[in-house]
A = this chain, B = another copy of it.
Amino acid sequence: VTAETSDLYRRLLGAADMNAAFSDASLLAAALEFEAALAEAEAECAVIPADAARVIAEVARGFRPDAAALAEAGARAGTLAIPLVGALTGAVKARDAGAAAWVHFGSTSQDLADTALVLMLREAARLLDDDLDRAETACAILEETHRGSVMLSRTLMQPAPPTTFGFRAGGWGAAIGAARAGLRRASVEAVRLQFGGAAGTLGAFGRDGGRVAAAVGRRLGLAVPERPWHTARGELVMFGAAAGVAVGALAKIARDVTLLMQYEIGEVFEPTGEGRGGSSAMPHKRNPSGSMVALAAQTRVPGLVASLLAGMVQELDRGVGGWQGEWLTLPQIFEAAGGAAHAMAEVLEGLDVRPERMRANLDAALGLVYSERVSLRLAGVLGRQEAKDAVAAACKAVAATGRPLAEMLAEDGRVAGALGADGIAELTRPEGYLGLADY
């Protein structure tokens, strides 16, 4: 614990591997890898001497700069690149004074920062996809296991016609799958080399800029866009928005879990485990601590995506403020998403499902949720208005007596006459009324 680091809550609401993807160590490694690839590519294109490139690349890849000193110098300079390139140049010079002249040749601060960001995002996307994959797979298993687990649907948090837990879990998984697809589409657009030099024109390379860019991109495994995107941040923003949508899909599941896990409902529970979801005050408590992480992410991420969008107004050839805001906002979005995905993967993989409580809760709703169904069938016999009135009266009687709808309907002569005892029985059980959930 030093006076500077602040990682406790970041860890509580995040995932260790995703946090590591955006650590200072990762940032510096990515930035130095850019410098190494840049030197090698420039040598390949005969822009700088091959010997110099070899030294630069080797030194860069082994360089472990003093992050605290860089932070202080960077805070003065307003950019990480100046002190980092300075320190790297010093280290190269110590090995080969001539090579030092070629460090960062023809590049600019934003090339380094953006490309490092993109390299970190590539790893982040991989980690996020892994946990989303786990969550989606867990949903598929739940769907398969529980296609017959009939339960209440609940609209506006009130009982509604029956569904199955399998169908619900399938919907959860489909939303995760759609979010993954969105992330992949966005990633293809966003994870690209940034390389434009001082003015975004690669002017230092004359007509060779495109060739050098292609060589840098190839070495880093990054696509090379037609032109630098120093001030065109739309692809990056869509990537962040796609992560935000993933958080939303996870948080929707988390909200459902917290609702279904209420003591009075008790239809699903988060997995237990050593140290999970306890309470500092109440030994008995089983808190939805995984869902909490996803819901905390959802509390934070919409605003963070707004910050990303707000930064799009970049002044002319390099923005003042809009660009730099991304340095913290994008990692925060992906760390929140990583935390949510990791937590919900664990929740879904270990979800404790109680089909018997689902059925009991459905029965306890006394058949009121079949009222629409009865009403529609009755309308064909009695006409819409009379059907509606009869069903409404029966529902009222249910509320007053606490007896099930089927009994109340049977006691209404018109209804009993219209539907018969078998008809009433058939219309007030979930079977045959599950629609898409019956598959």
Contact = CB atoms under 8 A, between A and B. Distances in A.
Contact of A280 (B25, B85, B391): B85
A108 interface: yes
Name, among A75, A155, A241, A297, the residue most crowded by chain B CB atoms within 10 Å (CB to CB).
A155
A375 B105 CA distance: 11
A1 B23 contact: yes
A19 B392 CA distance: 35
Given A4-B23, A283-B371, A310 B303 contact: yes
Given A200-B153, A227-B170, A252-B313, A284 B175 contact: no
Interface in A225-268: 226-228, 231-235, 237-238, 241-242, 244-245, 247-249, 251-252, 254-256, 258-265
A255 to B, nearest CB: 5
A321 B305 contact: no
A435 B248 contact: no
A147 B248 CA distance: 39
Nearest to A251: B313
B293 A78 contact: yes
A145 interface: no
Given A302-B303, A322-B299, A315 B20 contact: no
8 A-B pairs closest in CB distance? A295-B321, A248-B312, A78-B289, A299-B325, A155-B318, A303-B307, A101-B384, A303-B303
Nearest to A66: B1
A159 B97 contact: no
Contacts of A391: 283-284
Interface stretch (A54-62, A121-129, A160-168, A411-419): A160-168
Given A76-B276, A286-B158, A6 B11 contact: no
Interface string A368-383: 1101110110011001
A134 interface: no
A27 to B, nearest CB: 6
Interface string A420-439: 00000000000011111110
A46 interface: no
A391 B285 CA distance: 12
A76 B275 contact: yes
B174 A12 contact: no
A328 B304 CA distance: 12
B20 A8 contact: no
Contacts of A36: none
A365 interface: yes
Interface stretch (A201-209, A214-222, A348-356): A201-209
Contacts of A437: 199, 201, 203
A64 interface: yes
A26 B395 CA distance: 37
B283 A395 contact: yes
A154 B307 CA distance: 24
A81 to B, nearest CB: 4
